[in-house]
């Protein structure tokens, strides 16, 4: 049963996963954490960090990792294969259709309308992760180090364009030192 | 058969050594299949990438599939795709096995308490970038706002939201194109 659910969840993400790695990450977050509630928001954050630090596409890493956490070795293979399968099946269709109609008005306007929606999806994923599990010391009479880490990381990645891996390592060191 | 195997090895190397996925690997793919092996022309490669960028699914996987297909048909596509994902699967499985055993270790727990709020910011950043890139104005702001409300408060799956967006915008595009044609004639 769990294999079937993994297959279905990742098949859908493979079919509708427009907009790159983070857009798919928001879909994975919704299916695995919110919908099926297989893992907590904290575990999800851990998996994102580890997937970011290891080579390869982040959504493949996420599928393998969450699949393993939920359904062991076979779970990881089913999740990853289901994510890739739609791409393989779409190959012929895309070669026949899209390569001829790439300048088509409908194709272009659909893709441009998709962008603000995807922005919203990624934003929700971040919003859903802002909970007590990920911000353990958040509160009026606490030192709020987690909030400071989050704010500094945002400045670092958004404005200073620092490599995310360095920011993850730095945050890990801070966590080790203060907690 | 030799080219198929070479495709596998080429993408295996790229998959094993590119951090940051997607766009970081494009440069390596171009160097391997255009500059080094002369399998396809440079223009042909970038034309293909323009289309691959529009497709749903994992960008690195799609790049491997279409490059492989162009060079050696379906077998090439599958070889390149497997090459691109096998290193990730193996590395992540090793980490997952290790991590699930050690995640309750007090040192690991402290490190990850620091990492978790960092990850939230790492996801927030591309969301804001996407808002800017999509040139969201007062009129189009309804789309991301509706998305946030539907997913956050009503727990509507992102899958349905994407599906509705596709159906809605295709219908709208047909409608406005029809109107345009009518006003011309």
Which tens digit of pLDDT belongs to each residue from B35-87?
999 999 999 898 888 888 889 999 999 999 999 999 999 999 999 999 999 99
pLDDT at A19: 86
- The residue count for chain B: 185
- Chain A residues with CB under 8 Å of B141 CB are 116
CA–CA separation, A7 and A39 (whole Å): 17
The whole-number average pLDDT for the span B129-154 is: 92
Same domain, yes or no: B16 and B89: yes
Same domain, yes or no: B8 and B68: yes
pLDDT tens digits along A133-155: 999 898 878 889 999 999 999 99
CA–CA separation, A159 and A144 (whole Å): 22
Same domain, yes or no: B7 and B97: yes
**Residues with Cβ within 8 Å of residue B155, at least 6 apart in sequence:** A34, A35
CA–CA separation, A113 and B134 (whole Å): 8
Same domain, yes or no: B45 and B125: no
Domain range for B112: 104-133
pLDDT at B89: 96
pLDDT at B137: 87
Pick from B15, B127, B162: CB nearest A119: B127
Pick from A54, A111, A120: CB nearest B147: A120
Contact A56, B91 (CB under 8 A): yes
CB contact under 8 A, B69 and A95: yes
Pick from B55, B91, B173: CB nearest A94: B55
Residues 110-129 of A with CB under 8 A from B: 110-129
Please count the residue pairs, one from chain A and one from chain B, whose beta carbons lie less than 8 angstroms apart.
343
Same domain, yes or no: B109 and B95: no
Same domain, yes or no: B125 and B163: no
Q: What is the ipTM of this complex?
A: 0.91
Same domain, yes or no: B69 and B152: no
**Residues with Cβ within 8 Å of residue B101, at least 6 apart in sequence:** none
- Chain B residues with CB under 8 Å of A168 CB are 115, 118-119, 122
Same domain, yes or no: B49 and B108: no
| Residue A140, burial from CB neighbour count under 10 angstroms (0-12, 13-18, 19+) | exposed
Pick from B51, B81, B120: CB nearest A129: B120
pLDDT at A129: 92
pLDDT at B20: 60
End-to-end CA gap in chain B: 56
Residues 142-171 of A with CB under 8 A from B: 145-147, 149-154, 157-158, 164-165, 167-168, 170-171
Q: Which residues of chain A have pLDDT under 70?
A: 102
DSSP 3-state of A62:
helix
Same domain, yes or no: B23 and B77: yes
CB contact under 8 A, B151 and A179: no
Same domain, yes or no: B118 and B152: no
């Amino acid at each position: 049963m769990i294999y079937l659910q993994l297959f279905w969840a990742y098949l859908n993400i493979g079919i509708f996963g427009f907009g790159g790695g983070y857009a798919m990450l928001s879909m994975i977050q919704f299916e695995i954490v919110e919908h099926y509630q297989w893992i907590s928001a904290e575990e999800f954050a851990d998996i994102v960090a580890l997937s970011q630090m290891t080579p390869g596409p982040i959504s493949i890493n996420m599928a393998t990792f969450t699949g393993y956490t939920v359904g062991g070795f076979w779970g990881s293979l089913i999740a990853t294969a289901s994510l890739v399968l739609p791409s393989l099946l779409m190959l012929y269709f895309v070669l026949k259709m899209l390569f001829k109609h790439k300048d088509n008005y409908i194709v272009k306007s659909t893709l441009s309308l998709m962008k603000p929606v995807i922005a919203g999806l990624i934003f929700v994923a971040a919003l859903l992760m802002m909970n007590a599990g990920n911000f353990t010391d958040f509160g009026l009479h606490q030192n709020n180090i987690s909030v400071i880490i989050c704010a500094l990381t945002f400045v670092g990645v958004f404005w200073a364009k620092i490599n995310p891996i360095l920011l993850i390592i730095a945050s890990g060191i801070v966590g080790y030192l203060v907690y | 058969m030799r080219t198929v195997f070479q495709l596998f090895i080429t993408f295996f190397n790229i998959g094993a050594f590119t951090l940051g996925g997607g766009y970081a690997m494009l440069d390596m793919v171009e160097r391997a299949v255009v500059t080094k092996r002369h399998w396809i022309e440079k223009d042909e490669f970038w034309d293909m990438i323009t289309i691959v960028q529009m497709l749903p699914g994992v960008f690195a996987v799609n790049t491997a599939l279409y490059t492989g297909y162009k060079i050696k048909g379906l077998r090439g596509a599958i070889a390149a795709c497997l090459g691109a994902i096998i290193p990730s699967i193996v590395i992540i499985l090793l980490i997952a096995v290790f991590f699930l055993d050690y995640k309750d270790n007090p040192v690991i727990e402290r490190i990850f308490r620091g990492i978790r709020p960092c990850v939230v910011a790492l996801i927030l950043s591309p969301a804001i970038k996407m808002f800017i890139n999509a040139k969201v104005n007062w009129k189009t702001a309804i789309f991301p706002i509706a998305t946030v409300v539907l997913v956050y408060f009503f727990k509507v799956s992102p899958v349905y939201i994407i599906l509705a967006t596709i159906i809605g915008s295709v219908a709208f595009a047909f409608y406005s194109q029809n109107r345009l044609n009518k006003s011309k004639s």
